[in-house]
Amino acid sequence: MPERISFSRSLYRSDAVTAVAGVYAELATFAVDASAEHEVVVTITDPHPSLADELADAFSNHVLFESIRRFREEQGGAV
Amino acid sequence: MTTADALEDELAYLDDGRRVSFTVDETVYPLDAIYGAAYLFVERCFVFLDRPADQKVEVRLKPKSTPADGELDALAGEFANELLNQVLRQRVSESTARIREYYMARAFFSAPAQASIDQLLAELDAEEMEEDDLEISVPWETSDAGGGGA
């Protein structure tokens, strides 16, 4: 069953979502929809059977980490 | 009232046995502080942020393994403490920014004018070319010194 995650644009960076989806591409199919104004929606299908339980959580965690890293880098500060 | 109850009143967190969530007011805890706390927690648990309303951030924390009794409460409490810590760091940083700038400026501009690197190099060259006034002989200049043993 596909899992849908909605990342608010005011909290997450769209480029971070896309970058992490690319990194996780071998573990499942990630469809990134960045057409909405306030959110980026990711639909995860066909997850690797051994990771199905926590793939969405791990993916979201990684997107948050990457978003914070990029925001801070953009501000010129350390993470 | 236990500490957990007091915390629950202050933070109004929801615990479904698998994860804990609470809403943070951005006018009290700026987004930078929320990011700072979240950044420290991503290694310990799964962190997800959502925007339920303007100026509100919902924080969801889910331990990476099945939580023990009281673990979710503790996690929420630790996150709240870290939020306060981050806000305090930010305020101290802001309030001491002018002092830091002052010391930096003083270090760079108040010192007596120093020779430039070119001037220093020129001085070194000049010193090398000067003769040694004391005429202290060194072995590689005294081929005719005759022995030199003790």
Each residue's pLDDT tens digit, A19-39: 999 999 999 999 999 999 999
pLDDT of residue A3 exceeding 70: yes
Is there a domain that residue B117 lies in? yes
Are A8 and B49 within 8 A, CB to CB? yes
Which is higher by pLDDT, A56 or B134? A56
The CA-CA-CA angle for residues B76, B55, B17, to 5°, reads 25
Which among A2, A53, A8 has a CA at the least distance from the CA of A31? A2
Q: Look at residue B143 in the predicted model and tell me its pLDDT.
A: 56
Are B50 and A65 within 8 A, CB to CB? no
Given CB atoms, is B106 within the 8 Å cutoff of chain A? no
Min Cα–Cα distance to chain B from A71, Å: 10
Q: What residue numbers bound the domain in which A55 lies? A: 3-74
Is there a domain that residue B139 lies in? no
Q: Say whether both B35 and B70 belong to one domain.
A: yes
Q: Say whether both B22 and B85 belong to one domain.
A: yes
pLDDT of residue A79 exceeding 60: no
Beta strand spans in chain B (E) = 14-15, 20-25, 45-53, 56-63
Q: How far is CA A41 from CA A2, B30, B108, B114, B135, in A?
A: 12, 25, 50, 59, 83
Is there a domain that residue A30 lies in? yes
* Chain-centroid distance, C-alpha A79: 19
Average pLDDT by stretches of 10, chain B with 150 residues: 50 84 94 96 96 96 92 94 94 86 78 66 76 65 51
Which residues of chain A make contact with B57, given a CB cutoff of 8 A? 11
pLDDT of residue A8 exceeding 70: yes
Which 4-43 residues of chain A touch chain B by CB within 8 A? 6, 8, 10-12, 38
Q: Say whether both B77 and B122 belong to one domain.
A: no
Q: Look at residue B121 in the predicted model and tell me its pLDDT.
A: 81
User: The CATH number of the domain where B49 resides is what?
Assistant: 3.30.1360.20
Q: Say whether both B40 and B85 belong to one domain.
A: yes
Min Cα–Cα distance to chain A from B79, Å: 16
Write the DSSP symbol of residue B87: H
Q: Say whether both B83 and B103 belong to one domain.
A: no
How many pairs of residues across A and B have Cβ atoms under 8 Å apart? Answer: 38
The number of distinct structural domains making up chain B is 2
Q: Say whether both B20 and B89 belong to one domain.
A: yes
Q: Say whether both B12 and B61 belong to one domain.
A: yes
Alpha-carbon gap, residue A56 to B18, rounded angstroms: 15
Are A10 and B50 within 8 A, CB to CB? no
Min Cα–Cα distance to chain B from A66, Å: 10
Q: Look at residue B1 in the predicted model and tell me its pLDDT.
A: 47
> What percent of chain A is predicted at pLDDT more than 70?
96
Q: What residue numbers bound the domain in which B19 lies? A: 3-95
Mean pLDDT of chain A: 93
Is there a domain that residue A79 lies in? no
Q: Look at residue B108 in the predicted model and tell me its pLDDT.
A: 76
Are A64 and B50 within 8 A, CB to CB? no
The ipTM assigned to this model is: 0.92
